[in-house]
Amino acid sequence: MSADAMLEPLGNVAYVHDGTTEGLLSAIFQAYALHEQPEDFSSKAGLQPRLGQSVRYIETDAALASRVKAGIVRKAGRDAWDAVLHASLSDDPSAGVVVYRFVRHVMARPAAANAGLIRNMAHPIAGPVARLNRSVMNERHLMLQFLRFEHFENGIWFAKCNPKANVVPLLMGWFAGRFNTERFVIYDEVHQVAGIYDGANWYIAQTDEVHLPQHSDEEAAMQAAWKGFYDAMAISARYHPELRRQFIPKRLWRNIVELHDEVADGNAKSALPAVAIPSGRRL
């Protein structure tokens, strides 16, 4: 799209970004700069234009995204920014528009009027952001509980997950703080995102496959011991499969070692993705 076309305001328009939080914030900045009110914000993968709708492809600009973040914090506080960040990681197709409407709302009001707004679940603008925030944080909590790491012969710890939101960026700081001397990878097979910690720093990489070495010598024994402990602690008289599915969603079972035998398709040990660590870095 030409620079002249970018300067021409459009009516029925969808903004398409790279699917990251920075990409969404860059798109919101451009909506202000172009005096447009897009009806949709979407990643390229999720784009479904409406009939007669124009599409703008927005380049991610970290500086512009930072300015939008600073404006949200200034106008609505840190809690509001955290909610926006988390909402932007949701898989809900409306997440981009929900965040955009909230940003427009708080930017148009004095900061004092926005105090506590993000906690008002009944508010027509803030409520949807708050609900997305809660949903994403609930998914993060599930991953914190049920991630299972496996040890490989080069010292890498690896965990695979299948969350309903792009929560790996919200997991890395927590695990890096607790395993600060260990190198590990958390791979999200749904969003094709790898969180990589090299023993000092962590970063996020987009990748559709992960190449791993062989398991360490003791890994099979440790998995068997953990499974044995899990089975030994079970109380048959209190077996309640419906309650277990309520607390441990069945979609997670294939990545939980103690539940491999109960995966419905009989695939007790699904093959690990063959993690090519991107960016030329080796772990």
At residue 283, the pLDDT reads 35
In angstroms, the CA 16 to CA 59 distance is: 9
Lowest mean pLDDT across 6-20, 74-88, 169-183, 198-212: 6-20
Return the percentage of the chain with pLDDT > 90, whole number.
64
145-161: average pLDDT: 94
The reported pTM is 0.84
Residue range 24-65, pLDDT digits in tens:
999 999 999 999 999 999 988 878 878 888 899 999 999 999
User: How buried is 271 (Cβ within 10 angstroms: 0-12 exposed, 13-18 middle, 19+ buried)?
Assistant: exposed
Mean pLDDT of the chain: 88
At residue 10, the pLDDT reads 58
Band (208; pLDDT cuts 50, 70, 90): confident
Band (142; pLDDT cuts 50, 70, 90): very high
> 186 pairs with which residues across the strands?
159, 195
Residue that wins the pLDDT comparison between 51 and 172: 172
Question: 207 vs 17, 144, 189, 195, 249, CA distance in Å?
Answer: 18, 22, 9, 10, 25
Closest CA to 160 of 35, 254, 245, 55: 254
Q: Phi and psi (nearest 5°) for 16?
A: -115, 130
Residue that wins the pLDDT comparison between 234 and 102: 102
In the predicted model, is pLDDT for residue 252 greater than 70? yes
User: Both tokens of residue 11?
Assistant: 């009516």
Band (279; pLDDT cuts 50, 70, 90): very low
Residue range 157-167, pLDDT digits in tens:
999 999 999 99
Q: Where are the domains of the chain?
A: 3-138, 147-262
In the predicted model, is pLDDT for residue 15 greater than 90? yes
Residue range 59-114, pLDDT digits in tens:
999 999 999 999 999 999 999 999 999 999 999 999 999 999 999 999 999 999 99
Q: 194 in helix, strand or coil?
A: strand
According to the 3-state scheme, what is the secondary structure of 125-155?
Answer: CHHHHHHHHHHHHHHHHHHHHHCCCEEECCC
Band (243; pLDDT cuts 50, 70, 90): confident
